[in-house]
Amino acid sequence: MEHHLLCASSSLLLLFLFSSILVTNQFTFGSSKQAHNYANVSCIENERQALLLFKHGLIDESNRLSSWIGEGCCSWEGISCHKITGSVLKLDLRNTVPPYSDYDDYLKNQLGGHLSPSLVNLTDLRYLDLSLNYFSGIQVPAFLGLLKNLRYLNLSSAGFGGEIPHRLGNLSHLQYLDLGYSSSSPVSNWLRTKDLGWVAGLSSLKGLVLSQLNLTSTQDGLQSINMLPSLTMLDLDSCGLFIHPHLSHVNFTSLIFLDLSENNFNNYTVPPWLHNLTGLHDFRLGHNNLSDPIHGLFHQMTSLVHLDLSSNRFDVSTLKSLCKASNLTYLDLSFNNVQGSIPSEIGQLINLTYLDLSSNDLQGSIPSEIGQLSKLTNLLLSFNKLNGTIPTNLWQLTKLRDFEVGDNSLTGVLSEDHFAKLRELKSLGLTGNSLALNVSSSWVPPFQLHEIQMRSIIVGPRFPAWLRTQKEVEELDMRNASIADAIPSWFRVLCHNITSVDLSSNSLTGNPLEFKQLKHRPSRYRYRQLSLSSNKFDGSLKSFPLDISGLDLSHNFLTGHIPQLEVGQTVVPALSSLYLNDNRFTGTIPENLCKWESLSELDLSNNLLSGSVPLCLGNLRDLWVLNLANNSLSGQIPSSLGNLRRLDALHLNGNKLVGKLPASMQHLRNLQTLDLGDNGLKDIIPAWIGERLSNLWFLRFQSNNFHGPISDTLCQLSHLRVLNLAHNNLSGFIPRCFNNISAMVSGLHGDGGIDEPERLEDIKGGREVEYYALSLFFVNSVSLSANNLVGEIPDEIMELVQLQVLNLSQNHLTGKIPDKIGNLKQIETLDLSMNALFGAIPESLSDLYSLNSLNLSHNKLSGPIPSGNQLQTLTDPSIYEGNSGLCGKPLPNSCWEHKLPTKNGPIDDEDEGHGESDWSWFYAGIGPGFAVGLLGVLGILLFKKSWRYAYFKFIESACDKIWVKTTRLRRKFR
């Protein structure tokens, strides 16, 4: 936050310099604030009439221009005149209400409407400022190009749109032009131009701001700007301008301020012509994906004070080279490719006040040389791999206001002595380290913090009593801080003025805060967030806080009914997110919740709620997450939910809902997640799911009573990653068009994504698995098990090469396992059990290197089980049981005495040729061979008399011998 404040203050400083130096030093104005000093200045009548016409075209909701009455226009709000002639020189209607302190007042104070061409009658106008207003996308009037005497024109963040009029190039006396974006406003301009040639006509220009305009089609834009030799300030931030690497000649060598952040550097290196800009004081190159700069570039910029190289690909050599720029006061190298250790030479930057090296790959310890930077006010080293303890001399930096070392591997115990000299500290970020805060219960810190970031360090076990002294806190994060205590009563008062409180994932006990609005003491902030999730709160909630925008009490032990609004309570419409999931709430969903019309996230899942889904939920038109899963809700899905046109995620699974899907749900065009599993719904799969809900990523109807065929229209869901229709009564064939689901074929997910934080359930490896929303980028699953599907497994499913889970078990599928199953290289779980599949297991199954769960049991498979690679790790024989024709490991029955070939093993010559088909021919030849041999013998005996006598004589002799031997044996035993 401090970074943005510095950038904003820098811009405001430049704005002030140009508005004062370029204008006020040259002209004498009568000021509305000092109108009494110029009471004798008369207003020129035609200019007064022009101003009244101009006012008539404006929308002034806050009545800012109420003073625009009477004859003396020089005393009107925003008007300044020449003290002798009375001609209007200055028209300043900038919105001065800070947007981030009171957003409603800021919006109300914006002027709108249209701009009357009567302004052309202000022939001596030097200064025109309409910034920070909102003109609803109207074009910048071309008649502004007729104000020949303009020196200053500021239309920044005023909601203008369309093409920039080229007539502005006629303002040859203009010294400052701002059509861009102001960091102090949430409003932008939507301006564009295909040709910046008109800029060359602004021959007197010293300051040009075109930030966040669309200049992507302007190929020669920089060449046009290069024709302005007097330019000292140039802001081209985020305008998509092509930055030409080879300007033939650089004219704007007088530049003091240059911002080229977020533009198009096609060669990803710093242009060499920057060598010529040796007078730069403020240089910004952030967010350009640039690699290392030309050697010695910054050595020549001896006047450089402010340098922003954030979000590029600079490495540690850049940091080392910058250590020689002793005049630097501001250095931002965050989000780069800086690896290795922080060089000790950084101690040479003795004038540095702001240092940001966060979000790199820095390792090792924090060098003690940073403690020599006595002027340092901002030290940002978070999101690296720094280890060791924090150097003791860093605690001697008495001017530090922002100290952030979070998300590293720092160790140590911090005591009261460490903070004794940090009286100016406003932001303290220690999050995500192996640090412990060990201070006494009576400690009174020397500072007043605005931001406290102590997530995942040891603060407890007692609730930190020193917080009671911090009266200016805006953000407090002590998530997972090992606090096992009750929240003291004094904190209930303190947190009333904190905009964001996160005490989740501790062991806080007792009843949560009693959310009663403090009378006669409104909060400083309207949009407040309060998270107390994953603690040990119990008891019932008496009421909701009505002065916050986000409340998270999930994963506790709260009981009783969800609170109703008390009689006479008025709802503050700021509440946008409510998380009460994973508690023990009972009763019905109160319809009073529907009065919070600004709700965007509502999660009541995993409770003991009963009754029906309230019809009035359809009135929450801003809702984008609705999670009522795993309760005991009954009845039908209300058709009113079809009114939730912004809905991204709908979870009604794990309830007792019945009936059909309301046709109105086809209007939920933005839906990405739809989970209706584990209910009693009875319907066919409607065709409109595939035809209308084209953004679906997650579709789960498991364990219902859906019947009929699987609709081919599901194949139109090109973004689908999880399809679960298991445990229903579906019949017919598996659609052959599944290969049209491109997300499972190519893995491409297109624009957008799953944003909701809730869990998503699916079956993986035969068990329930909870997928968190972000993991859906990496999950591809199809489960059609436990239905009545028939026919063969389509070869087209083998084209879903991104699949990780395929479960077709417990159906009536026939035919062979497709030979192309080896295409599913990403598959982890494969279940084809309890079908009627026959034939051999394809050898390509051994190509599935990611396979860790396999079930082919209870089919009619035969032949040897393939071996090799990942299959060798799957040694449980139960995965093949119920297939009497299978043989080989891991089953106990071997495939005869032959050594069967393996996918990756040697083949013995003596076994070559004895495949399954050879043995089939062998068995098939035994019967006919015996019959032919018998007929041959009988034929010879019939036609050859001598052979016939010999044969019967042999039989008679053999019978006599057998009779004699058996007679002797009988006598012997007697």
pLDDT band at 573 (very low <50, low <70, confident <90, very high): low
Tokens of 456: 């995942």
Q: How far apart are the first and last CA of the chain?
A: 116
pLDDT above 80: residue 933: no
Cβ burial of 402 (10 Å; 0-12, 13-18, 19+) is: buried
Residue 716's pLDDT is what?
Answer: 95
Residue 953's pLDDT is what?
Answer: 59
Per-residue pLDDT tens digits for 308-360: 999 998 888 889 888 888 899 999 999 998 999 999 999 999 999 999 999 99
**Longest distance between any two alpha carbons in the chain, whole Å:** 162
Beta bridge partners of 733: 790
Percent above pLDDT 90 for the chain: 64
Residue 99's pLDDT is what?
Answer: 74
For residues 803-809, average pLDDT: 95
Asked if 697 and 673 count as a contact pair (C-beta separation under 8 A), the reply is: yes
pLDDT band at 511 (very low <50, low <70, confident <90, very high): confident
Q: How many other C-beta atoms can be found within 10 angstroms of the C-beta atom of residue 691?
A: 14
Relative to beta strand 306-308, strand 330-332 is: parallel
For residues 791-813, average pLDDT: 95
Asked if 142 and 119 count as a contact pair (C-beta separation under 8 A), the reply is: no
pLDDT band at 702 (very low <50, low <70, confident <90, very high): very high
Q: Which amino acid is at 677?
A: G
DSSP state of 953: H
pLDDT band at 912 (very low <50, low <70, confident <90, very high): very low
pLDDT band at 300 (very low <50, low <70, confident <90, very high): confident
pLDDT band at 960 (very low <50, low <70, confident <90, very high): low
Select from 772, 820, 818 the least CA-distant residue to 792: 818
Per-residue pLDDT tens digits for 71-100: 899 999 999 999 889 999 999 999 988 876
For residues 625-652, average pLDDT: 96
Higher-scoring residue by pLDDT: 756, 500:
500
For residues 766-793, average pLDDT: 74
Alpha-carbon span 612 to 607, nearest angstrom: 14
Contacts of 464 (CB under 8 A, 6+ apart): 437, 439, 478, 483
Per-residue pLDDT tens digits for 588-604: 999 988 888 889 999 99
Tokens of 532: 């107390």
The string over 446-476, giving b where at least 16 C-beta atoms fall within 10 Å of a residue's C-beta and e elsewhere, is ebebbbbbbbbbbbbeebbbbbeebeebbbb
Tokens of 857: 């049991």
Q: Which amino acid is at 126?
A: R
Alpha-carbon span 667 to 569, nearest angstrom: 34
pLDDT above 60: residue 775: no
Task: Please state which of the ranges 258-262, 471-475, 937-941 shows the lowest mean pLDDT.
Answer: 937-941
Contacts of 9 (CB under 8 A, 6+ apart): none
Cβ burial of 433 (10 Å; 0-12, 13-18, 19+) is: buried
Residue 754's pLDDT is what?
Answer: 43
Higher-scoring residue by pLDDT: 322, 935:
322
Higher-scoring residue by pLDDT: 14, 740:
740
Residue 949's pLDDT is what?
Answer: 56
DSSP state of 724: E
Task: Please state which of the ranges 142-151, 349-358, 755-764 shows the lowest mean pLDDT.
Answer: 755-764
Taken in order 449, 453, 456, 457, the sign of the CA dihedral is negative
Alpha-carbon span 602 to 588, nearest angstrom: 15
Higher-scoring residue by pLDDT: 877, 270:
877
Per-residue pLDDT tens digits for 154-191: 999 999 999 999 999 999 999 999 999 988 788 889 99
Q: How many other C-beta atoms can be found within 10 angstroms of the C-beta atom of residue 104?
A: 10
Q: How many other C-beta atoms can be found within 10 angstroms of the C-beta atom of residue 376?
A: 25
pLDDT band at 961 (very low <50, low <70, confident <90, very high): low
Asked if 737 and 796 count as a contact pair (C-beta separation under 8 A), the reply is: yes
Residue 272's pLDDT is what?
Answer: 80
pLDDT band at 296 (very low <50, low <70, confident <90, very high): confident
Higher-scoring residue by pLDDT: 710, 187:
710
Would you list the DSSP string of 113-141?
Answer: E---GGGGG-TT--EEE-TT---TTPPPP
Residue 244's pLDDT is what?
Answer: 75
Alpha-carbon span 774 to 849, nearest angstrom: 25
Strands (E), 613-651: 625-627, 632-636, 649-651
Alpha-carbon span 116 to 54, nearest angstrom: 5
Task: Please state which of the ranges 267-271, 496-500, 693-697, 825-829 shows the lowest mean pLDDT.
Answer: 267-271
Q: Rounded to whole angstroms, what are the CA distances from 517 to 400, 526, 544, 546, 966? A: 36, 13, 9, 7, 115
pLDDT above 70: residue 369: yes
Higher-scoring residue by pLDDT: 841, 514:
841
Residue 494's pLDDT is what?
Answer: 81
Give CA 44 to chain center in angstroms.
58
Cβ burial of 939 (10 Å; 0-12, 13-18, 19+) is: exposed
For residues 485-500, average pLDDT: 86
* Averaged pLDDT score across all residues of the chain: 85
pLDDT band at 774 (very low <50, low <70, confident <90, very high): very low
Instruction: Return the residue matching tokens 């794990």.
Output: 654
Residue 868's pLDDT is what?
Answer: 81
Higher-scoring residue by pLDDT: 464, 489:
464
Q: Which amino acid is at 884?
A: S
